[in-house]
Amino acid sequence: MHSDPEHRLVAAFAAHARAPLDPAALLDICHALIGVQRDEHMLAWAEKGLALAPGHAGFVHARARALRLLGEHARAAQTWIDAAQTRWAPLFYEARLGRDLYLSGETHQAIAVLERAVHSPLPDDQPDKLRARKWLAEAMLSLGDARGFTHWLYRNQGDSGNFRHADVPMWNGQRDLRGERVLVTHQMGYGDQFMLYGALRHWRDAGAEIMVTCDAAIHSVLEASLPDCRVVAARRPLTVAVPIEAALLPDVHDFAPTQQATLLHLPLLTAHDTARPDPYFPAYIRAPESARANGAIWGEAMRAQHRGKRLVGLFWDCAQRHAQTLRSKERNWARLRSMPLDALERLTMNPALGERVQFVSLLHPDVEMHGGTPRGHVSHYAPAIRTFADTTACIEQLDAVVSVDAGVANLAAMAGKPTAVLVNPTGEWRWGKDGAHSPWIRDAHVLRQQTMGDWSNVIAATLDWLGQR
């Protein structure tokens, strides 16, 4: 057995060449492709394996996994349905079938499957039960059902790293927070933090004093945006129940929290209210003062240069798709969310639109260097976008933002800027399942692909949206 993933892949190909009808060699190729983070390339090998060994659990799993990474969620779900009679470990089948049904748009059917898994008598920390809870939560939330946040919280036992201060009790659902000092610790990605910290307004309204941790990259933005909270930067926790790091303890002790909560707890405060907040996540983000001053100077110059035109921010390329060291899941999900330049240029090179709109790139220069720059009516933020403070300052000077499903879409919408969010048919739960409006964020206008990978209807809808503004 080769320990190096690339050597294992070469050896698996060689074994298959020697014995092309041996299913074991094909299964080794699938496993080796996972080892080199190229799971999406398993499809052909999994289908060869199924032709030789129909119903083989390993090949069924490999085929469904590859299809999901390629964005073919309906085919992935059908793969599980066709293999219903295969013997699976408890909850393994339900968790994955439910996930792929949800991703394919069969949300109500997915909820039924996932609820069966969640109500299983197996322990709540069983990995597939936790997986089922995550996808049940997101299916419910995509329908605007805030009860999904109760299931989402179980990610704190599974796939979302989090801090745990051993000497401070965890928030237990208490609604009256007068006199309480709550330490709220961060987790997950930038977009999640931008959105979920919007719920802090409800906690402040309930009487809590708040200390917040966040990633260093967004600290200056959150510090400016949450003036009634204490905001400190810390590394992002990557495993469950990580002790508060030593460098953070002096700030924590000075704040003297009486309770703690994770980012995932925040939306639960109002999850069962009869009259739910509208919007659920209120806009609150603003740029730091120094960045705002630079932005104002740039904005004035841009409007003088492009008199009569609206300035519209543009974000089209998710950085993760260029990171070859990331797992296949992250790279492929970023690829499916990103818009190719030829589609984008139907906006930036549209002559009629160019008379009324000047686009401004919101990409970090490193990402634009990898993915390319569209031709046409596209400018760049002259102080240069290097940090989220720069991005926020630029957004504040714009009339609107057009963004694919990425952290910048969350940032712009939570800054209260009219934001067209361009999503593939799966999308994130926060943009809702159907329609043009998010059930959670007021300033997001959602434009959805009809077919995965085909941006034609989205471009047409974006032209209409810009024309109406």
Instruction: For residues 5 and 378, give the distance between their C-alpha atoms in angstroms, rounded to a whole number.
Output: 43
Q: Which residue has the tokens 């709220």?
A: 184
pLDDT at 379: 97
Q: Do domains 5-147 and 289-468 have the same CATH topology?
A: no
Asked if 46 contacts 66 with a C-beta cutoff of 8 angstroms, the reply is: yes
Instruction: For residues 26 and 22, give the distance between their C-alpha atoms in angstroms, rounded to a whole number.
Output: 7
Cα dist from 250 to 217, 238, 294, whole Å: 21, 22, 34
* pLDDT tens, per residue, the chain with 469 residues: 556 889 999 999 999 999 999 999 999 999 999 999 999 999 999 999 999 999 999 999 999 999 999 999 999 999 999 999 999 998 999 999 999 999 999 999 999 999 999 999 999 999 999 999 999 999 999 999 999 999 999 999 999 999 999 999 999 999 999 999 999 999 999 999 999 999 999 999 999 999 999 999 999 999 999 999 999 999 999 999 999 999 999 999 999 999 999 999 999 999 999 889 999 999 999 999 999 999 999 999 999 999 999 999 999 999 888 887 888 999 999 999 999 999 999 999 999 999 999 999 999 999 998 889 999 999 999 999 999 999 999 999 999 999 999 999 999 999 999 999 999 999 899 999 999 999 999 999 999 999 999 999 999 999 999 998 7
CATH homologous superfamily of 5-147 equals: Tetratricopeptide repeat domain (1.25.40.10)
Instruction: For residues 157 and 187, give the distance between their C-alpha atoms in angstroms, rounded to a whole number.
Output: 13
pLDDT at 321: 86
pTM: 0.95
E strand or H helix at 185 = strand 181-185
pLDDT at 171: 98
pLDDT at 436: 94
Phi, psi at 434, each rounded to 5°: -135, 165
289-468 in CATH: which number?
Answer: 3.40.50.2000
Asked if 341 contacts 455 with a C-beta cutoff of 8 angstroms, the reply is: no
Instruction: For residues 365 and 121, give the distance between their C-alpha atoms in angstroms, rounded to a whole number.
Output: 51
pLDDT at 439: 95
pLDDT at 427: 86
pLDDT at 444: 96
pLDDT at 4: 86
163-270 CATH, one of 3.30.1300, 3.30.379, 1.10.10, 3.40.50: 3.40.50
Domain ranges of the chain: 5-147, 163-270, 289-468
pLDDT at 237: 95
Residues in a beta bridge with 446: 421
pLDDT at 5: 86
